[in-house]
Amino acid sequence: MFDDVSIASAVAQKGYGPSAKPRTRYAALEECLAKVADVARRLHATVHMPRIGCGQAGGSWFIVEELIASTLLGSGVPAVVYDLAERQPILPIQGALIPSMA
């Protein structure tokens, strides 16, 4: 169904939960983005993501944006960054949204 979709998981923060200091580790994030750029370039793919490292991890979007520009865009890989909507209450799954197993 989604043979043309790949997912990358990046570990670029230390710890989780409330913290007096940001948990984003920019060097680790840069390394992860460089690896994603290599794979995306080979696959002729675009990269789509939220504003990584800037939510609960407490990172600076100004810094993360520069890392995305230098690693992805600098390698010729198009990137789309999404601003996620405010959290909505979780609703029960509706029958029409469950994929058919037939």
For 13-45, the pLDDT digits (tens) are 999 888 889 999 999 999 999 999 999 999 999
Q: Does residue 3 form part of some domain?
A: no
**Reported pTM:** 0.78
- 44 phi-psi bin (left φ>0, alpha ψ -120 to 50, beta other): left
Q: Does residue 73 form part of some domain?
A: yes
For residue 20, the model assigns a pLDDT of 87
In the chain, the number of structural domains is 1
For residue 98, the model assigns a pLDDT of 47
Going through 10-99 in order, the beta strands assigned E by DSSP cover 47-50, 79-82
**54 three-class SS:** coil
Residue 70 lies in domain:
26-83
Q: Does residue 41 form part of some domain?
A: yes
